[in-house]
Amino acid sequence: MNVFLRELSAYRKSTIIWCASLSAILIVFMALYPAFTSDVAATKQVLGQFPEALRTALNISLSDFFTIYGFYGYLLNFAILAGAIQAMNLGTGIISKEVAGKTADFLLSKPMTRGRVVSAKLAAAFTIIVITNVVFCGVSYLAALMVATETFAIGTLLLLASTMFLVQLVFLALGALFAVLIPKIKSVIAVSMPAVFTLYIVGTLGDVLGNDKVRYMSPFKFYDTAYIIKNVGLEGKFIALEAAIIIVAIAASYVIYIKKDVRASA
Amino acid sequence: MNVIETTKLTKYYGKSRGIIDVDMTVAEGEIYGFIGPNGAGKSTTIRTLLGLIHPTSGSATIFGKDVTASGPEIRQEVGYLPSEVFYYDDMRVIDLLRYSASFYRKDRTAIEARIKSLAELFDLDLKKKIDDLSYGNKKKVGIIQGLAHEPKLIILDEPTGGLDPLIQQQFFHLLKEENAKGATILFSSHILSEVQKLCDRVAIIKDGSIIKVEQIKTLLENSTKRFKLELVETPVASAFAVDGVSDLAITNHSVSFLYRGRVNEITKMLAEQDLVDFLVEEPDLEEIFMHYYKKEDEQ
Our CA-based measurement puts residue A241 at a distance from the nearest CA of chain B, in whole angstroms, of: 35
pLDDT of residue A214: 86
B270: number of Cβ within 10 Å: 16
pLDDT of residue B285: 58
Cross-chain Cβ contact B71/A113 below 8 Å: yes
Sketch the domain layout of chain B as residue ranges.
2-220, 223-298
B88 touching A (Cβ < 8 Å): yes
Cross-chain Cβ contact A103/B145 below 8 Å: no
Per-residue pLDDT tens, chain B, 299 aa: give them.
899 999 999 999 989 999 999 999 999 999 999 988 888 899 999 999 999 999 999 999 999 999 999 999 999 999 999 988 999 998 999 999 999 999 999 999 999 999 999 999 999 999 999 999 999 999 999 999 999 999 999 999 999 888 889 999 999 999 999 999 999 999 999 887 788 888 989 998 888 999 888 888 777 666 778 889 998 888 888 888 888 888 888 888 899 988 887 888 888 888 888 889 989 887 665 666 565 555 455 54
Our CA-based measurement puts residue A259 at a distance from the nearest CA of chain B, in whole angstroms, of: 8
| Nearest Cβ partner for B75 among A102, A110, A266 | A110
Q: ipTM of this predicted complex?
A: 0.87
pLDDT-flagged residues of chain A (< 70): 265-266
B72 touching A (Cβ < 8 Å): yes
Q: Which residues of B touch A109 (CB under 8 A)?
A: 50-52, 75, 78, 80
Query: Which candidate in B12, B50, B52 is best for mutational testing of the A interface (most A CBs within 10 A)?
Result: B52
Using CA coordinates, name the residue in chain A closest to B49.
A109
Q: Comparing C-alpha atoms, which of A238, A249, A206, A252 is closest to residue A87?
A: A249
A24: number of Cβ within 10 Å: 11
Cross-chain Cβ contact A109/B102 below 8 Å: no
pLDDT of residue A266: 46
Contacts of A91 (CB under 8 A, 6+ apart): A125, A171, A172, A173, A174, A175, A176, A177, A178, A179
Q: Comparing C-alpha atoms, which of A254, A191, A15, A6 is closest to residue A107?
A: A6
Do the Cβ atoms of B3 and B62 come closer than 8 Å? yes
B1 touching A (Cβ < 8 Å): no
Using CA coordinates, name the residue in chain A closest to B155.
A109
B54 touching A (Cβ < 8 Å): yes
Backbone angles phi, psi at A212, to 5 degrees: -75, -25
| Nearest Cβ partner for B53 among A103, A111, A261 | A261
| Nearest Cβ partner for B82 among A10, A105, A111 | A105
Do the Cβ atoms of A129 and A87 come closer than 8 Å? yes
Same CATH fold, B223-298 and B2-220?
A: no
Cross-chain Cβ contact A111/B73 below 8 Å: yes
Any alpha helices (H) in chain A, and if so which ranges? 2-10, 12-31, 33-37, 40-49, 52-57, 68-100, 104-108, 114-147, 154-181, 188-209, 225-231, 236-259
Q: Which residues of B touch A263 (CB under 8 A)?
A: 13, 47, 53
> CA B114 → CA A106, B3, B118, distances in Å?
19, 24, 6
Cross-chain Cβ contact B82/A113 below 8 Å: no
Q: Comparing C-alpha atoms, which of A118, A112, A260, A120 is closest to residue B75?
A: A112
Query: Which candidate in A12, A14, A109 is best for mutational testing of the B interface (most B CBs within 10 A)?
Result: A109
pLDDT of residue B103: 96
Cross-chain Cβ contact B76/A106 below 8 Å: no
Question: Which CATH code, of 3.40.1030.10, 2.40.70.10, 3.40.30.10, 3.40.50.300, is assigned to B2-220?
Answer: 3.40.50.300
Cross-chain Cβ contact A109/B75 below 8 Å: yes
Q: What is the pLDDT of residues B30-61, one digit of tens each?
A: 999 998 888 889 999 999 999 999 999 999 99
Using CA coordinates, name the residue in chain A closest to B77.
A111
Q: Comparing C-alpha atoms, which of B46, B19, B38 is closest to residue A109?
A: B46
The CATH code belonging to domain B223-298 is 3.30.70
pLDDT of residue B293: 55
Q: Which residues of B touch A259 (CB under 8 A)?
A: 54
Cross-chain Cβ contact A2/B50 below 8 Å: no
